[in-house]
Every structure is written in C-alpha cells, then in structure tokens.
C-alpha cells in the first residue's frame, strides 16, 4: 500500500470540492471589501483628501487579499482540470474583462497620486470604480449562469466544445445574480470603511452601506424565488461511482424543476447557508445604523459566506452543469484529477495554507487602526 492510498479517492474528491469553496470564499470575504470600496469611492468621497482616505484604507492590504484568487485559480487548474478548461474557454471574454479590471487596479493605485492635476486623479478614480464594479458584477453573472447550466458538450475523447456566446451570458437571471454580488460587496466595503475611517467618509459609508444591505436582502430573496419557480436544476438519474474514472459521460443527467432545492430537503442543515446569507445582511444593516464597527464587518462576512455557500449546497454534487448536453455535466465524482495528484496537493495545502493565514493575520494586526485624515494632509504614513 502506497502512502496516498491511505485516503480514499472519494474522500479526496470531496475534500478538494470543499477546499476550493474555502479558497474562493476567502477571496470573496477579503478582496470583497476591496472591490466594495472601489464601488463606493465616487459616492463616499467628495474631494481629493476624502478619496485618499478611502484609497489608503485598502492600499496596504489589497495585494495580499488577491492571493486567495490566485490560489483558487491554481487549485481549480490542478484539482478540477475539466472545470478549468470549460470555464476559461467558455467564459473567456468575461474572464478577460475581470483580468483587465484587476490589472488596471494596481496601476490606478500607483499612478493616481503621481500628479496633482485634478483631472488626472479623477480619471484614475474612475478606473478604481471600474476595477471594483466590473469584477463584482461578472462574478455574480458567472454564478447565475452556472446555476442555469452552461452550453458546453464533450465528445467521446473528452474534447470540450463551448457553444454559447458572451452576450448569451447576460441573461436576466444572471444579471440579477450580478446585482446581488454588487450590492453584497458594496455592503462589505461600507462595513470596512466604517471600521477604517472617521468623519464624513464613515457617515456616507454607513448611509450607502445601509442601502446596499437592504438591496442585498431584497435581490438575494428575489433570486432565490426565481431559481425555485423558473430555473430548472439538474439531477443524476443513474448510478454514479464516487471512486470511478473522471469521465462525466458515464452517467445520465436530466433537468428538473426545483432540483436545486432537493438538497435542502434531504439535508435540512444546509438551510443554514441561505439563512445566514439573509440574516448576515440584516445584521450588517443594523450594525451600520448602530455604528457597531466589528459587528458590522462580521455580519457582512457572514452574509457573503452564506450566499456563496448556498450555491454550493444547492448544486452538490454538480460543479458545472451543461445545458445542452446534461450528461457532460461536471460533478464532484467524475471530473477531478487523479488520486495521487489530489493527495499531493492536499499535503502541500496542509503545510502552506496555515502559513498564509498566519501571515495575513499578522499583517492585519500590524495595520490595525483608522486612516487619519490629518496624516493624509501632512503626507506622513500613507503611500497613496
């Protein structure tokens, strides 16, 4: 018996499904307030000093937060190669738009204050808004399309054929999911600004954040209702081997109304995810109104976690369903890398993820405290 066979293949597959969720969730919670701050920048800051306060609230940490996105993308590539292939080919233009926005963000951070010209700075402020709004919207649109099924198929040699278009992704339900994402991250950004700023910036963040929190509750509730009433889910109608080969075509899948809610009936504890999504947003609204800084940020993070986890809970064991060839749908049990690959990745993750968490925690501890507007004016202690 070799070392990697000590952990069963089905356990490794399930573990990596959960780990991918954890990595993407860490990105949503940490880089989420960066994106939300960018969305709120034109609304909470009315002059150059106020804008610099907002920018410096995330300036020291935004690069580190993106580590989770890089880890998530790399893990998908290694653990679920078919998912990576379909997502990065079918969603190519959407991914390109996200990358353009994320690439422009550091440029805006670095170049904005190089000149004192108001027009120059205003243009870079527009870029920061763009780099916050566009990824937030597209991530939500992507999840909306995943819930509806993506138009791809596989041939017998496992070649992937994507038959959709970029504008086909911009359907009403997917756009609604995109608005959920924008409202959710704007709420999270406002919670961060309440924690890191004082004065009029914090007051405006509370006002706009309260509206974003209520919008999150309303939009998320509407999306759930539409998903239940009008969006068909998918279910496996044949036997599937959890330790079988990574060949999605060995099963039978059919679309079925309400299929995405079956897991909540079969495993009632999974209802905790959507409930936390709603209660967290309500808690964030209350925290903003009561000026409870830590409480608001925690509630906002709980809301994001619940909303994201509700997608995984409702779809399990599906990872990426196909709308035109349901049998090609990718699931936890038939689209992973080999047993050995998953085991090696797990060992590496057990070693390095705690190191990343420890380092990140230390950085946030060192950088704790509010951004001082007086220090901004005096040009001391702030880089942007």
Sign of the CA dihedral 59, 64, 69, 70?
positive
Phi-psi region of 381 (alpha: psi -120 to 50; beta: other; left: phi over 0): left
Structure-model confidence comparison of residues 166 and 290, the more confident one = 290
Computed over every residue of the chain, the mean pLDDT equals 90
Q: Which of 254, 228, 221, 219 is nearest to 325 (CA)?
A: 254
At 382 the pLDDT is 58
Q: Is 14 in a helix, a strand, or coil?
A: helix
Residue 1 has pLDDT above 60, yes or no: no
**pLDDT at 137 > cutoff 70:** yes
Q: By residue range, what is the domain housing residue 28?
A: 15-368
Q: 277 pLDDT exceeds 80?
A: yes
Q: Which residue has the tokens 């998918």?
A: 234
pLDDT at 7 over 70: yes
Angle at 118 between CA 100 and CA 369, to 5 degrees: 75
pLDDT for 5 equals 67
pLDDT tens by residue, 190-246 = 999 999 998 899 999 999 999 999 999 999 999 999 999 888 899 998 888 888 888
Going by their DSSP bridges, the two strands 318-320 and 160-162 should be labelled as unpaired
3-state secondary structure of 162: strand
Report the pLDDT averaged over residues 114-141.
92
The answer to whether residue 6 is domain-embedded is no
In a domain, 219, yes or no: yes
Distance (Å, rounded) from C-alpha 54 to C-alpha 312? 33
**Does any domain span residue 1?**
no
| Predicted confidence band of residue 174 (pLDDT cuts 50, 70, 90) | very high
Upper half-sphere CA count for residue 50 (Cβ side, 13 Å): 17
φ, ψ for residue 378, nearest 5 deg: -85, 0
Reported as a single tens digit per residue, the pLDDT across 91-124 is 888 888 999 999 999 899 888 888 888 889 999 9
Residue 5 domain-assigned (yes or no): no
Cα separation, 8 vs 25, in Å, equals 26
Query: Distance between CA atoms of 49 and 72, rounded to whole angstroms?
Result: 36
pTM, two decimals, is: 0.92
52 within domain boundaries = yes
Beta strands in the chain (DSSP E): 152-154, 160-162, 232-236, 253-257, 318-320, 330-331
Query: If we measure between CA atoms, which residue out of 103, 292, 313 comes closest to residue 202?
Result: 292
Our CA dihedral for 25, 276, 139, 159, rounded to 10 degrees, sits at 70
Rounded to an integer, what distance in angstroms lies between the CA atom of residue 66 and that of residue 76? 16
Q: How many domains does the chain have?
A: 1
7 in a structural domain: no
Q: Which of 273, 352, 350 lies closest to 307, judged by CA?
A: 273
ω before 179 within 30° of 0 (cis)?
Answer: no
Look at residue 2 and tell me if it is in a domain: no
Distance CA 234, CA 237 (A): 9
Predicted confidence (pLDDT) at residue 338 exceeds the cutoff of 80? yes
| 250 domain residue, yes or no | yes
């Amino acid at each position: 018996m070799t070392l990697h066979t000590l952990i069963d293949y089905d356990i490794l597959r399930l573990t990596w499904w959960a780990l991918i969720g954890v990595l993407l969730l860490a990105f949503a919670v940490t880089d989420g307030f960066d994106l939300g701050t960018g969305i709120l920048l034109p609304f909470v800051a009315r002059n150059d000093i106020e804008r610099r306060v907002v920018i410096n609230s995330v300036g020291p940490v935004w690069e580190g937060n993106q580590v989770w996105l890089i880890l998530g993308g790399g893990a998908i590539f290694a653990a679920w190669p078919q998912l990576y292939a379909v997502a990065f080919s079918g969603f190519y233009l959407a991914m390109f738009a996200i990358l353009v926005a994320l690439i422009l963000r550091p440029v805006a951070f670095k170049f904005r204050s190089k000149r004192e010209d108001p027009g120059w700075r205003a243009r870079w402020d527009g870029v920061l808004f763009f780099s916050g709004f566009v990824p937030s919207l597209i991530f939500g649109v992507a999840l909306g399309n995943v819930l509806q099924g993506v138009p791809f198929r596989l041939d017998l040699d496992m070649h992937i054929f994507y038959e959709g278009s970029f504008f086909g992704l911009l359907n009403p339900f997917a756009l609604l999911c995109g608005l959920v994402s924008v409202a959710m991250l704007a709420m999270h950004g406002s919670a961060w600004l309440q924690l890191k700023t004082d004065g009029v910036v914090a007051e405006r963040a509370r006002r706009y954040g309260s509206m974003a929190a209520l919008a999150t509750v309303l939009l998320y509730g509407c999306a759930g209702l539409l998903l239940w009433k009008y969006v068909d889910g998918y279910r496996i109608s044949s036997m599937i081997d959890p330790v079988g080969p990574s060949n999605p075509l060995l099963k039978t899948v059919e679309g079925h109304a309400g299929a995405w809610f079956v897991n909540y009936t079969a495993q009632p504890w999974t209802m905790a995810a959507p409930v936390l999504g709603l209660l967290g947003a309500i808690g964030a609204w209350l925290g903003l109104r009561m000026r409870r800084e830590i409480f608001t940020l925690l509630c906002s993070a709980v809301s994001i976690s619940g909303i994201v986890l509700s997608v995984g809970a409702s779809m399990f064991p599906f990872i990426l369903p196909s709308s035109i060839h349901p049998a090609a749908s990718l699931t936890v049990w038939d689209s992973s890398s080999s047993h050995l690959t998953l085991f090696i990745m797990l060992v590496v993750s057990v070693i390095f993820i705690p190191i990343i968490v420890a380092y990140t925690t230390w950085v946030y501890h060192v950088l704790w405290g509010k951004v001082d507007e007086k220090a901004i004016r005096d040009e001391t202690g702030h880089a942007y």
